[in-house]
Structure 1
Amino acid sequence: MDDRAVLPVLPVHPVPADLERRPDPYPWLNHLRTEGPVQRIRLRDGSDAWMVTRHSDVLAAAGDPRLSSDPRRLTAQPGRSTRIAGGNALPSMLTTDAPDHTRLRRLVSRAFTARRVETLRPRVRDLARELLDPIVPRGHADLVAEFAFPLPVAVICELLGVPFADRAYFSRQSSDLLRPPVDAAAIALADAARGRLRDYLADLVASKRTGRADDLLSDLVAAGEEQRLTDEELISMALLLLVAGHETTVNLIGTGVWLLLQRPAHLEALRTDPQLLPSAVEEFLRFDGPVMTGVARYTTTDVEIGGITIAADQIVILSTGAANRDPQRFERPDEVRFDRADNPHVAFGHGPHFCLGAALARVEAVEGIGAVLRRLPGLTAATAPDSLRWRPSVLRGLQELPVTFDPRSAR
């Protein structure tokens, strides 16, 4: 007699094409979690996958070695996107497992320790002041284009040794690279952007070989010459640091200010007591963080998650957005609360792939949002919530944030 468990037949939930651009995408994620901790989904490129929605399961899965971060582990199957299966995967920290992941992460981890990042705080504060100086007398601004974007871009450019003058070019390419794969045109656009960025960084790496500087990219070039990095790994590492080093923080700052504009009492609380800013940033990350849909993993063997056995060779999405709104872990999860003494959100991931730039993102968000609140009195949104544009990206963030304020008392 066959005593194997009979697994339930679960419905397939297609991921909405506009999920990240919805004013409130969380009802969809909350519905999936209510249906069960693990659900079948269809990704926007047509691939079938599983989504893990409960906080405790996301934590456990993020540290489970049976779930690989390398899409090349997947066997090519009829109907499965070669893009998902690793046809265009880059050998970076995001898409490798130990020991390669450990080796690559070790090469840059010293630049992103909390202590090292703390030494950057005065420079971040200066950059925030320089960006706001021309805005203050006007009484109006687009805080995404004029502040939330250039602040982290300037920081990562200085850290890596990338010319700040090229920011518009690599911003366009990284935006195209991160477009959701909703159709063949979007996939082609992303692949073309990836190629252009790799060419740009290959040229920059070549220039660092002939003229070293005191920056992280020069350090990585030196490491490559010691044969710890292949050329492909070096360029892929630079690409990851450049794109991830500014895209998520742009969104964190923009969304954080937007959340405050919708909650005047919260905004005034931060103005009255700036010491609340670090806990406020943690709450912004939990409530509506940039990596909202989740991160991908790939099963190397049968794995049981949340009472469901997922077979080998499957895509698993660990939904950070659903986990961060899990009522079993967070009291009143759909409210923004700065008094959460216990806020173990997974906006930066968990386990071996915990975000290397978490400390830097926190410093930039605290200093950036703090500067906006301090220098722009009477800050008010200049557009209605339902007309605000969100970015067409796999990351969650605002395309724009038009605001007005009182220039007479601004400083």
Structure 2
Amino acid sequence: MDPADGLLEHPYDVYRRLRDSAPVHRITGPDGTPAWLVTRYDDVRAALADPRLSLDKRHATAGTYKGFQLPAALEANLLNMDPPDHTRIRRLVGRAFTPRRIQQLRAPIRRTADGLLDALGPSGTTDLVASYAAPLPITVICDLLGIPEEHRLDFRIWTDTLIAPDPAAGPEAARDAVVAMFGYFTRLLADKRRSPADDLLSDMIAVREEGDRLSEDELMSMTFLILFAGYENSVQLIGNAVLALLQHPDQLAALRRDPSRLPTAVEEFARYESPALFALRRFPVEDVTLSGVTIPAGETVWVSLAAANRDPSRFADPDRLDLGRDASGHLTLGHGIHYCLGAPLARAETEVAVTALLERFPALSLADEDLRWRHSLRARGLLALPVTYGQKG
């Protein structure tokens, strides 16, 4: 039996078993390719910062993913790069993606959240993923990039297709989504070059340092990455945070009594139910030893963020949601040079989204205990979050 059997259905039970039995495991991925799985906190943190573990697929000699591949212009993004290319592009993009810009987004995020809650009415039942957790981040990220409102539903459909494709639709659905996005980005970049605006995409086109600037393919891939990752992480983080509160009424009550705890609570939400089970796969450029296990060069390494965040050697009683916990040090948003560039935005969106929801609806509860999770090796998010809500507690 493969040690990771049951991983998608019951991840934390599997992670507990894996951590207890060995630090690193040889497994078979869902597509049949072999890989190494790292689950303990210290090993995961070390692996995330180890320059010998490359994100560049050109270092893979065995066990590479056999499924759908993005076109070259979209593959050339930060998630598939090592230094010096990674250093150069992150430096350029970081000059446009500033903390000041994120701070300026808090008021628009709140307006978007309030508008979505207004649309729900004073009481009723809704799928909170479809009506709130998903449209909020897609609106925010499209505002950030400067994407017109009339095209945003298309982006949500395309992104959902890539995050968790419908097996019945076949690989053609993902290909069609990528072709549509690629064509749209080509036209959008041309429009922004002709008519720059006060948005991140215009800034990325204009940014330069000592004569260096982003190429057309680099702009295309960064636009794709910001849209895709910005939406994926936030929709899962918001939905998972609300679910965690509804399943832990004592913690929900404590947060209602003291909303000032929300910024630190967001860190515990991220630790407790990470929006991603794994970091991106890595490929050793030389043999790498973790806790006495040697992983040969060129093979595929999966680093489990969710398993590390539930490691009792790092977090006491890790399977318990505790909003009073110091959850700093969780690995949900990465570690080292590949730490998530959009982490401040994901935190801001989650904090504002949960604040607005709890303020609006003193009465909030699960409408159905039979919840279904996305069948995805990467994303850890709900397909739907049915809730009953009201303004009287």
Structure 1 and Structure 2 fold alike (TM over 0.5): yes
Equivalent residue runs for 1:337-352 within 5 Å: 337-341=322-326, 343-352=328-337
- State the partner residue of 2:177: 193
Q: Where does residue 7 of structure 1 map in the other structure?
A: none
Amino acid at match of 1:59: R
The 5 Å alignment of 1:9-88 reads: 12-14=2-4, 16=6, 19=8, 22=9, 24-75=10-61, 77=62, 80-83=64-67
Once residues 352 and 84 of structure 1 are traced to their aligned partners in structure 2, the CA distance between those partners, rounded to angstroms, is 27
Q: 1:206 is matched by which residue type in structure 2?
A: A
1:106-153 CA-partner distances (Å, limit 9, x unpaired):
122134443432222122122211211122324332211111111111
Q: Does 1:210 align with 2:200?
A: no
Distance across 2 between alignment mates of 1:266 and 1:111: 37
Q: 2 CA distance for matches of 1:188 and 1:97? A: 30
Alpha-carbon RMSD: 2.5
Gaps of 5+ in 1: 1-10
| Equivalent residue letter for 1:147 | Y
The alignment status of 1:177 with 2:167, answered yes or no, reads no
**More deviation, 81-90/194-203:** 81-90
* Deviation, structure 1 residue 80: 4.7
CA distance in 1, matches of 2:170, 2:92: 33
Residues 40/64 of structure 1: CA separation in 2 closer, same or farther (3 Å cut) = same
- Report how many aligned residue pairs link the two structures: 390
Correspondence list, 1:3-402, <5 A: 12-14=2-4, 16=6, 19=8, 22=9, 24-75=10-61, 77=62, 80-83=64-67, 90-179=75-164, 187-223=171-207, 228-341=213-326, 343-384=328-369, 387-393=370-376, 394-402=378-386
Secondary structure of the residue aligned to 1:405 is: strand
Q: CA deviation at 1:354?
A: 0.2
Q: Would you say the 8 A contact 1:299–1:311 is kept in 2?
A: yes
Superposed displacement of residue 183, structure 1: 7.8
Alignment gaps of 5+ in structure 2 = none
Q: Tell me if structure 2 keeps the 8 A contact 1:13–1:41.
A: yes
SS in 2 for 1:290: coil
Q: Kindly state the Cα deviation for residue 228 of structure 1 after the two structures are TM-superposed.
A: 2.4
Task: Assess, with a 3 A threshold, how the Cα gap between structure 1 residues 163 and 258 changes in structure 2: closer, same or farther.
Answer: same
Letter in structure 2 aligned against 1:167: R
Equivalent pair of 2:97/2:200 in contact (CA under 8 Å): no
CA distance in structure 2 between the partners assigned to 1:304 and 1:151 by the alignment: 42
- Structure 1 residues 268-295: Cα deviation after superposition (integer angstroms, max 9, x where no partner): 1111100111121111110111112333
> What is the CA deviation profile of residues 309-337 of structure 1, one whole-angstrom value per residue up to 9, with x for unaligned ones?
11100111111011000111110000001
1:73-107 Cα offsets, whole Å, 9 max, x none, are 213x5x75455999867010111011111111112
Equivalent in the alignment of 1:8: none
Partner Cα distance (1:187, 1:64) in 2: 34
Is the Cα–Cα contact under 8 Å of residues 39 and 51 in structure 1 kept in the other structure? yes
Letter matched to residue 56 of structure 2: D
Q: TM-score, normalised by structure 2?
A: 0.92
Cα drift, residue 185 of structure 1: 7.0
Q: State whether residues 268 and 322 of structure 2, in contact with CA within 8 Å, keep that contact through their aligned partners in structure 1.
A: yes
Taking only the aligned residue pairs, the percentage that are identical comes to 46
For residues 93 and 118 of structure 1, what CA distance do their matches in structure 2 show?
24
1:248 alignment partner AA: N
Q: Give secondary structure in 2 for the equivalent of 1:40.
A: strand
Name the TM-score, length of structure 1 as normaliser.
0.88
Residues 184 and 262 (structure 1 numbering): CA distance in 2 closer, same or farther, change over 3 Å?
A: closer
Does the CA contact (< 8 Å) of 1:72 and 1:85 recur in 2? no
